[in-house]
Homo-oligomer: A and B are copies of this chain.
């Protein structure tokens, strides 16, 4: 998967993914992809979770609270860490063990996010490594950063 891939469609018909073993990973190895947040994603996330908080539904409510418009669920932005692990780093053999995320700035519908992960702290004996994650919007603002502890199946 190229790092310029844009997941514009909500349903992915392209089943290619990376398939790295622990020995093929190296410190500093980086993958990234772009995704545009849509209203359909917001609706689907609300349907899955039942989170009907108005901050994520109502522009008026969000503006009252000093946001530009309704805010994308932080856990929706975080859900792309699943893709980062399961498709890119390491891809097929991915098993997410731990995830830490910090929401740094609001994400809005229509934002084009660049989701990037960098491999660190590889432990080949335990088949464990870490990914440092950043998500940046189209203005270059870091909206989320995080870290994942990964297993390899």
A78 contacts B76, C-beta separation under 8 Å = no
Bound CA span A11–B15, Å: 29
Distance in angstroms from A129 CB to nearest chain B CB is: 16
The verdict on A56 contacting chain B, using a C-beta distance below 8 Å, is yes
Identify which of A22-30, A93-101, A118-126, A134-142 touches chain B: A93-101
The reply on A127 being an interface residue by CB < 8 A is no
A24–chain B nearest beta-carbon distance, Å: 17
Interface status of A87 (Cβ within 8 A of chain B): yes
Measured between C-beta atoms, what is the minimum distance from A147 to chain B in Å? 9
Chain B residue nearest to A41 (CB atoms) is B48
Q: Quick one: which of B10, B47, B101 contacts A99, CB cutoff 8 A?
A: B101
A67-101: contact bitstring with B at CB < 8 Å (1 yes, 0 no)? 00000011110111111001100011011111111
Contact B12 A50, beta carbon cutoff 8 Å:
yes
With known contacts A78-B75, A98-B100, A98-B101, A87–B48 Cβ distance under 8 A: no
